Chains A and B, each alone.
Chain A
């Protein structure tokens, strides 16, 4: 059966459907975010600061700007520093995964074009784009890791030069799948130990995992068939849309709240002690 939705024959491919749903997704995301932020505002109680640090001559009353900046850096880095020392495997996996995701989402050439279509100023970042594969012009899974291109250029033309060997969509996708695998393994371990596990953990990680696989298959043209390509790419975008739309209701929202939490912590370190 074919459904007619706008100018697209939805039944033919997921790709146009996914594109049509992007704007509603963004609306849904903003609606959810407003709900989340609204709850904070509704429960906010203005604190009574009885003993501001600055009023205390015997503790750190006066703090130089350099100390403030150093303290801000410490606040943001402490979690990783302690984690690397005491939980090296999961912390390294976590850090690399976050780095990989940020690079993939915001710098992969195909993603940049997509973002710039909706947000034209995004184009200024185009020079930083990373390619889908390290080899020039060949979208091949098997040729991804070292230059084996028939063109005179050893690497794709980008500013990353030889770094392209690792800074490319395919390599980072593999890395992400391994790292997410470690994380999922960690979750299974927690499950086996009867430790806290939440439905949201599975929701987010599994969606992300499948989404990366779909994106990888689509850009690698596996299977090499245009109908499959459209569906895989459409599926990839649709899953991403589900992730974006549900962000305010899931752990994914930490990409915004992380900054709030750390700046709050820093404020308490420097300006207000006592109960948090």
Chain B
């Protein structure tokens, strides 16, 4: 892919490949590498196969299998070198292909649940993403944004400060007092800068709900990053680790009972599981998505939901649902909201990924706008890269748009900022007369607190 042509350093890549393959293969990765039967069942699940079969999970993961075979199998060391299927390192064109494949995977996990062998091809593609990052093969616009987060310099940027401060002001207008960084609160309402940018109204609505429910909550006086830990989607493990340290320190400092977030993308998984597993700590608090938290309160009878008369549905964000296991909570809330709740044809573990997340990190125009605001210049290569991410969005979007049309849903609720952007793009592109919105925006006005 063009975005890296001028900057591929093959020596650095070779070194990175050795580091990743000799350093990170454990029994799970070994299982993924050697147990694939090449049945190609996973093609059916991946949001990138509608664009090309070369983007099928098994085809993308084959790059890491070839590098693995050379290093860890007798066949790969001997016959495989001559008949194919085994490689010590990648040539320039192979490195470009690998880079292209890396950015055609959202690590959505859909392939794992469709694979008869339970292989997570996303994990293997992630290995390559890590190697690529170590070798500097990453779209510059993303690494610039990630660097702001890792270094902590994001807070020096006016536009970020303004966005955050304006969010807090609007929250205050909506609910009166907004407690900030209050230690020992029952609930820490966690959000990132990214959310403050793309859906401030959702965050304000959460503040309204928490206030309405008379909860002991607190918000953050300043965000902990752009979208922490953004390194996770770029293959930057070390950067992600640094940012997670910052987040963990803040969480333990506030020491709440619940940490409630509205984003059900990679941050949910990273901050709930990966962060604590990496630091080998058992948290005293629970990190929860807002739907989990509200479903708990609803089932405990703290509030009622005033019903609406509309066909509504739920798009399961991949990280929240497939990887995080949160399926029931949003359904409890939405079924209470409308008797006309309908499931999308692909839902639950088979929910069809919107094709963003790690697969382009958002709708390209949004990334460009963000870069402009931050004064990050977009090179020709990055521009081409971003433009190339549009086609998979259009192709995967067609499937999502058809599904929404099929069940005639008026409102598509979901729980992840990137899902909202990309599904909105698809519904507009295919002229589907439905709206997509964060579940909080559907619920806020219909939550009626019960008099105790």
**With contacts A50-B273, A265-B113 known, is A198 near B38, CB below 8 A?**
yes
The bracket for how many chain B residues form the interface is: 35 or more
Determine, out of B274-282, B367-375, B376-384, the stretch whose residues face the partner at the interface: B274-282
Q: What are 30 A-B pairs with beta-carbon distances under 8 A? A: A39-B30, A40-B27, A41-B27, A43-B26, A43-B30, A51-B277, A58-B296, A59-B325, A78-B350, A79-B116, A82-B44, A82-B45, A82-B113, A86-B45, A87-B41, A194-B54, A195-B54, A195-B59, A251-B36, A251-B38, A258-B116, A260-B31, A261-B115, A261-B116, A262-B116, A262-B117, A264-B118, A265-B112, A269-B325, A275-B277
Q: Does A196 contact B (CB under 8 A)?
A: yes
Q: Which of B77-85, B130-138, B173-181 forms contacts with chain A?
A: B77-85
At the interface, yes or no: B329 with Cβ under 8 Å from chain A? yes
Are B31 and A261 closer than 8 Å at their CB atoms?
yes
**Chain A residues in 8 Å Cβ range of B41:** 79, 82-83, 87, 91, 94
The answer to whether A276 and B350 have CB atoms under 8 Å apart is no
Within the complex, what minimum Cβ distance (angstroms) separates A166 from chain B?
25
Verify A60–B325 contact, CB threshold 8 A: yes
A43 CA to B34 CA in the complex, in Å? 13
Are A198 and B276 interface neighbours, CB within 8 A?
no
Q: Bound state CA distance, A82 and B49, in angstroms? A: 15
Chain A residues within an 8 Å CB radius of B329: 58-59
Name B43's contact: one of A50, A87, A194 (CB within 8 Å).
A87
Q: Which of the segments B161-169, B216-224, B285-293, B335-343 contacts the partner chain?
A: B285-293
Q: How far is the CB of A87 from chain B (nearest CB, A)?
A: 5
A120 adjacent to chain B (CB < 8 Å): no
Asked if B117 and A274 sit within 8 Å, CB to CB, the answer is: no
B58 at the interface (CB under 8 A from A): yes
Which residues from A are CB-within-8-Å of B36?
251
CA distance A45 to B23 in the complex (A): 13
Given contacts A50-B283, A53-B325, A58-B286, contact A276 B273 (CB under 8 A): no
Q: Verify if B40 is at the interface (C-beta below 8 Å from A).
A: yes
B258, closest chain A residue (CB): A58
Residues of B within 8 A of A82 (CB): 41, 44-45, 113-114, 350
A112 to B129: give the CA distance in the assembly, Å: 50
B295-319 interface bits toward A, Cβ cutoff 8 Å, 1 = contact, 0 = none: 1100000000000000000000000
Please indicate the chain A residues that have their CB under 8 angstroms from the CB of B350 in the complex: 78, 82
Question: B interface vs A, CB < 8 Å?
Answer: 25-28, 30-31, 34-41, 43-45, 53-54, 56, 58-59, 62, 75, 79-80, 83-85, 109, 112-120, 123, 258, 269, 272-274, 276-277, 280-283, 286-288, 292-293, 295-296, 323-326, 328-329, 349-350
CB of A119 within 8 Å of the partner chain: no
Knowing A195-B56, A199-B79, A251-B37 are in contact, say whether A60-B328 is a contact too (CB < 8 A).
Answer: yes
B66 to chain A: closest residue by CB = A196
- A48 and B280 in contact, given A79-B114, A274-B323, A275-B269 (Cβ under 8 angstroms): yes
Chain A's nearest CB lies how many Å from the CB of B230? 17
Q: Give the complex CA separation of A260 and B117 in angstroms.
A: 8
Alpha-carbon separation in the docked complex, A249 to B36 (Å): 12
Q: Fill in one digit per residue for A38-63: 1 if any B CB lies within 8 Å of its CB, else 0.
A: 01110111011111010011111000
**A78-B113, A199-B79, A258-B117 are known contacts. Are A274 and B54 too (CB-CB below 8 A)?**
no
13 extra interchain contacts, Cβ-Cβ under 8 A, other than A43-B25, A51-B282, A79-B116?
A: A51-B283, A57-B286, A58-B288, A78-B114, A82-B45, A90-B39, A91-B41, A195-B59, A198-B85, A199-B80, A201-B38, A261-B118, A274-B277
Q: Is A254 part of the contact surface with B, judged by Cβ < 8 Å?
A: yes
- Taking a contact as CB atoms under 8 Å apart, the answer to whether A274 and B114 are in contact is no
| Contact between chains at A249 and B75 (CB < 8 Å) | yes
Chain A residues within CB distance 8 Å of chain B: 36, 39-41, 43-45, 47-51, 53, 56-60, 74, 78-80, 82-83, 85-87, 90-91, 94, 186, 190, 193-201, 249, 251, 253-254, 257-258, 260-262, 264-265, 269, 273-276
Q: Which residues from A are CB-within-8-Å of B37?
A: 251, 254
Minimum CB–CB distance from B106 to chain A (whole Å) comes to 15
Most chain A CB neighbours (cut-off 10 Å) among B35, B258, B324, B328? B35
Task: Write out the residue numbers on chain A whose beta carbons fall within 8 Å of the beta carbon of B80.
Answer: 199
Distance A121 CA – B273 CA, assembled complex (angstroms): 48
Q: Say whether, besides A51-B282, A58-B295, A83-B114, A257 and B31 are in contact (CB < 8 Å).
A: yes
Give the Cβ gap from B195 to chain A, nearest Cβ, in Å: 20
Distance A195 CA – B328 CA, assembled complex (angstroms): 38
CB neighbours of B119 from chain A (8 A): 261
Q: Give, as a whole number of angstroms, the nearest-CB distance from B301 to chain A.
A: 15
Name the B residues within 8 Å of A91 (CB-CB). 41
Distance in Å: Cβ of B355 to nearest Cβ of chain A: 16
Contacts of B328 in A (CB 8 A): 60
| Inter-subunit contact B114/A40 (CB<8 Å) | no
Task: Collect the chain B residues with CB atoms within 8 Å of residue A258's CB.
Answer: 116-117
Chain A residues whose C-beta falls within 8 Å of the C-beta of B349 in the assembled complex: 74, 78, 269
